[in-house]
Amino acid sequence: MTRLTLLALSFAVLATPALAQMRGQDPFADADINRDGQITLAEFQASRAARFDRLDRDRDGVIRMQDFPRIALRGDRGADLERMISAADRNRDGALTRPEMLASPPVAFAMADANDDGVLTAAERDAARARLQEMRSARR
Ligand SMILES: [Ca+2]
Ligand SMILES: [Ca+2]
Ligand SMILES: [Ca+2]
């Protein structure tokens, strides 16, 4: 897989209407937990755990395609969610557990961390968002 494909995958779930309550389509929106303007890997992982909890709407500890109403999964969006689940679903049972999600590589973080110092600055996040916009418009 190309790096761009991996980035697209990691952003994919954010495009689902089931996540409409989340801010926009920005995987870093809620990640700066201590509000110092930078996102560490630990903060990013914590925000992924929170995202899992939001996706696991019936609180059974797993995310499945069946958790989402069909209307939320029309067209590309269903495919995007399916790709996200299968990318992290280590034991291939079609369900994504919290440990599975947290154990999957933090691709969005790695892609955005341009200088590989383990911290995302605002500038690095802006650059990642710009790349995402480019990919989205290229897909249309
Ligand atoms: Ca921070
Ligand atoms: Ca699984
Ligand atoms: Ca960095």
Give the distance from CA 7 to its chain's centroid.
Answer: 9
- Overall pTM > 0.95: no
Tell how far the Cα of 66 is from the centroid of ligand 3, in angstroms: 37
Tell how far the Cα of 100 is from the centroid of ligand 2, in angstroms: 7
Q: How far apart are CA 6 and CA 72, in angstroms?
A: 23
7 vs 139: which has the higher pLDDT: 139
Beta strand pairing call for 62-63 and 119-120? unpaired
Q: What percent of the chain has pLDDT over 90?
A: 42
Asked whether the beta carbons of 28 and 123 are under 8 A apart, the reply is no
Ligand sitting nearest the alpha carbon of 36: 1
**pLDDT tens column, 76-95:** 777 777 887 888 999 999 99
Tell how far the Cα of 101 is from the centroid of ligand 2, in angstroms: 9
Q: How far apart are CA 28 and CA 133, in angstroms?
A: 15
Tell how far the Cα of 63 is from the centroid of ligand 2, in angstroms: 9
Ligand sitting nearest the alpha carbon of 111: 3
Report pLDDT for 34: 94
Tell how far the Cα of 132 is from the centroid of ligand 3, in angstroms: 17
Domain count, the chain: 1
- Which residue segment(s) compose the domain that 53 sits in? 3-139
Q: Kindly state the helix (H) or strand (E) to which residue 97 belongs, with its residue range.
A: strand 96-97
